[in-house]
Each structure stands twice: as structure tokens, then as C-alpha cells.
Amino acid sequence: MPWKKDFDTDVALGDAMRAFWSKGYEATSITDLTKAMNINKGSLYNAYGGKHELFLSAVSKYNRDNQQATLRKLEQMDDPLDSITMLFEALVAESLADDEKRGCFLVNTALELPNHTEDVREIISQSFTDMEAFLERSIVAGQAKGSILADLDPSETAKSLLSQIVGLRVLARGVFSHSSLNTIKKEAIASIAA
């Protein structure tokens, strides 16, 4: 008899994503996942294939629903400097509202990359490449509009901003205060504003 699913796989995937996000891949057990998803082991394996496949789906979901959705919205703004400013402001606000100090699922996974397989590394690498590309496009557009300093190298500046974003996300997990996170944001914007 074929397996019949009796749960919403997308909702359960979101629950799994939050479990992995809180504990990381290695520390999250199958029992943790089945409890978080409110399903049994058989349903997990039938619907997702296993822990590794579920993790890949969870990281992809976070990237799609969080980072990619945010970048699409920011790219629609008229002033690229405002887009970059809003990105930093959103990251600080999100970090301050994060009572569990989970940080960013993508950054957390990047910190564990030596322990992950190539397919996970590819997802994380692509997410960072996408963020850097957004920043570079925004810098070029901002330079054309005159809101971003004209003498900046867009590629190098995008890399610098990306490193500040990653640093902010790591430090926000409980190391830095509200004022310190705001300082990172202000310094990042001051370094590019015309």
C-alpha cells in the first residue's frame, strides 16, 4: 500500500528549519525533528528522504523565503543607498528582536561548513554570492545616481559590506549590545554614502 501523507509538508519543513536553526545540523536529532514537526520517523523519511535531505530543503527554504525575498524587495527601492541602509537596519532590528539569539540560519550554517557536504556548501556559497551581487549592483546604481561615493570599487566594497553583514550576524548572537550593532550599521553606511 502506498504511503499517504497526512500533514502539510511545507509547514513541517518550516518546523524542521526552526529546529535546525536553533541547534545546528549535528546537534539536531531525528527525535528533535519529529517532535518539532509533529510527525513520526516513517513520515519524515517518506516525505523528505532523511535528515540530510531535510536539512538541504530547510536551508533552501530559509534562503528562498528570507534572503531572496528580502533582496527582491530591496531591489525595487528607488535609491540604492536606501536599499543598503534598510538592509542593515532590518538586520539590526531582527537581531535585537531575536530573544533566542539564533542569528541567521545561513551564517550559522556557514560557520559549520567544514562539517557539511558539498551540496550544503553550494547552497551557502550561492546565498553569499547572491548577497554580494545585490550589494555590488546597488553600489553601481548608487554611484550612477550620486548617492554612493563614485571612487569606490563596487566589487571590493560589496565584499567589505558582506563581511560586515556576516560579522554583525555573528556578533548579534549575544556578544554585542544594541548600540554596538548600530555602530556597525552606521559605519557601513558612512563608508559608502556620498
139 pLDDT more than 80: yes
pLDDT at residue 5, as a whole number: 63
Residues 95-130: tens digit of each pLDDT: 988 888 899 999 999 998 888 899 999 999 999 999
* Backbone phi and psi for residue 99, each to the nearest 5 degrees, phi listed first: -65, -30
- Residue of higher predicted confidence among 55 and 4: 55
The answer to whether the CB of 171 falls within 8 A of the CB of 162 is: no
The answer to whether the CB of 21 falls within 8 A of the CB of 102 is: yes
Q: With respect to residue 137, please indicate whether it lies within any of the assigned structural domains.
A: yes
Q: With respect to residue 20, please indicate whether it lies within any of the assigned structural domains.
A: no
Q: With respect to residue 139, please indicate whether it lies within any of the assigned structural domains.
A: yes
* Backbone phi and psi for residue 190, each to the nearest 5 degrees, phi listed first: -60, -30
Please report, for the domain that includes residue 124, its CATH number. 1.10.357.10
2 pLDDT more than 70: no
Q: Which string of DSSP letters, residue by residue, matches 94-135? A: HHHH-TT----HHHHHHHTGGGS-HHHHHHHHHHHHHHHHHH
Q: With respect to residue 77, please indicate whether it lies within any of the assigned structural domains.
A: yes
pLDDT at residue 4, as a whole number: 53
What is the Cα Rg of the chain in Å?
19
Domain count, the chain: 1
Report the percentage of the chain scoring pLDDT > 70. Answer: 97
Which residue range(s) make up the domain with 157?
A: 58-190
pLDDT at residue 39, as a whole number: 94
147 pLDDT more than 60: yes
18 pLDDT more than 70: yes
Q: With respect to residue 11, please indicate whether it lies within any of the assigned structural domains.
A: no
Q: Which long-range contacts (CB under 8 A, 24 or more apart) does 109-112 make?
A: 109/24, 109/25, 109/59, 110/166, 111/170, 112/24, 112/25, 112/26
Length of the chain: 194
Instruction: Classify the C-alpha dihedral 119-56-164-160 as positive or negative.
Output: positive
- Rounded average pLDDT over 54-81: 96
- Rounded average pLDDT over 25-49: 94
